[in-house]
Copies of this chain bind each other. A is one copy, B any other.
Amino acid sequence: MLELYHAHISTCSQKVRLCLAEKELDWTGHAINFARGDHLSDDYMMLNRNGVVPTLLHDGRPVIDSSVICEYLEEQFPRNGNPVMPASAYDRAKVREWMRYIEEVPTTAIRYSSFNTLFIDAFKQRTPEQRQAQIARTPLRKELYKQFGKTGFSDDAIASSKERLHQALERMDQDLQKSEWLAGAFSIADICVLPTIIRMEDIGLEYIWDEFDAVQSWLSRFKKRASFNMAYYEGARVKPGMTNILGGEE
């Protein structure tokens, strides 16, 4: 039995939902409510000491970290649905190189614009004590929340995060000129970067890939996969004006 603790709009939850759909696996969902602080509750942090979503329970045993969960699903269910990792060790290394880059560059960069667009109103409504209490309880990325503060990230921080997103898209475009998917065949690398790209679309940053034709074709190919609509069900994408989400990490 597969249970997923996730949040509808969290990009890391979206990665795992995409992977579950590609592997054609049934799962039961437990929605984490950031505003209520579910992700920082004692019960949840017994399963996930990072205090972030998602967490997979497989027959009651937890697995955390979205990219780790994706590899786990492939290794546990190699014959279900579509393969999301290649058969040869060298090709797997190429997928993992992409995964590491995605984790270090676009996944961290999107948080800046994402927070400034989605969380700022909710953060402004909190007292400094409430904000400090949440930061103190946050196991990962305290620094990021301190920087975010009450007024959001600075213009400089936003500009620099957009520069990193541009670099990531440029690199994607280079590889997508050579193959339909990032690391040859469709893989966890494509799954791990898609939610960042969709978030960019949702908050008005799609102009960054204007010049990257191969990325545009990749994106429209991805949107035609069955997994896309399964992971991005109604309510799973953020919308303009949706600015009152309370500081959930993803």
Contact = CB atoms under 8 A, between A and B. Distances in A.
A236 interface: no
B75 A89 contact: yes
A90 B63 contact: yes
A167 B104 CA distance: 20
A104 B140 contact: yes
A171 interface: yes
A237 interface: no
A contact residues, range: 35 or more
Task: Please state the number of chain copies in the assembly.
Answer: 2
Interface stretch (A23-31, A33-41, A91-99, A210-218): A91-99
Nearest to A163: B142
Interface stretch (A13-21, A66-74, A223-231): A66-74
Contact of A68 (B61, B97, B163, B167): B97
B97 A65 contact: yes
Nearest to A96: B68
Contacts of A69: 93
Contacts of A104: 103, 140
Contacts of A49: 171
Contact of A139 (B50, B65, B68, B167): B167
Contacts of A93: 63, 68-69, 71-72
A100 interface: yes
Interface string A89-121: 110110011001101110000000000000000
Interface centre among A50, A68, A90 (most CB of B within 10 A): A68
B100 A76 contact: no
Contacts of A63: 90, 93, 97
B75 A92 contact: yes
A43 interface: no
B160 A143 contact: yes
Contacts of A76: 89-90
Given A64-B97, A139-B167, 18 more contacts: A63-B93, A63-B97, A65-B100, A67-B96, A67-B100, A68-B97, A71-B93, A72-B92, A72-B96, A75-B89, A75-B92, A76-B89, A76-B90, A100-B103, A104-B140, A105-B140, A142-B160, A142-B163
